[in-house]
Each structure stands twice: as structure tokens, then as C-alpha cells.
Structure 1
Amino acid sequence: MHALGGFLGVYDQHEYLGERRAALETWAEFLTACEAGEPWRQGNVIALRAAA
């Protein structure tokens, strides 16, 4: 990781471990679904129609 300078370098000392873990777990679930050929959970994603 590179160092942040100025305001962020002084005040943003949080490592966001919980947020990073959640993001990586979601990414792993996505990759597992892709590898198994299963559809990924849609959530709030709206599928686009194919071009006519």
C-alpha cells in the first residue's frame, strides 16, 4: 500500500478491515458462481435488453 499525504495521511488511520473483508467475500462468491456456471445474484442490478 502506498502512503497518503496531507490531510488523509494524518486523519484517515482506519484500515477498513471489515469493509475489505466483505468486499473480498462478495468477490469470491461472484467468482465461484461464474466458475460453476451459475447466475450471479441480481440484487439491485437491472439486466439490460439486448440490442435489436
Structure 2
Amino acid sequence: MLESHLEEGRQALEPATLRYGVSVTDACLGWEATESLLLEAAEQLRSA
């Protein structure tokens, strides 16, 4: 299982400092890392 969001990491739920695209629950992979992992997994499955 991968937890992913637009930007990597997590942040505290502080309304004054919230950053767009960053999770307020669990630490997540950013979109770029998620995309790379999914493309690599797809390639591995195709060549299996």
C-alpha cells in the first residue's frame, strides 16, 4: 500500500500555516515519487 498526496510529508492541522497539497493525517509520498513507483511497477509486471 502506498499513501500519496500532491506533496510529500505531513503537516499539523494549523489553519494559519496549512500548505496546499500536503497531508494533515499520515506522512505521504509526493506525486512525483508515486508516479515513478507506479511506472516502475507497471514495467516489472509487463516484463514478468
- What is the TM-score normalised by the length of structure 1? 0.41
Structure in which a larger fraction of residues adopt helix: 1
- What is the TM-score normalised by the length of structure 2? 0.44
Larger-gyration structure (1/2)? 1
Of structures 1 and 2, the one with the larger relative CO (CA 8 A, separation 6+) is 2
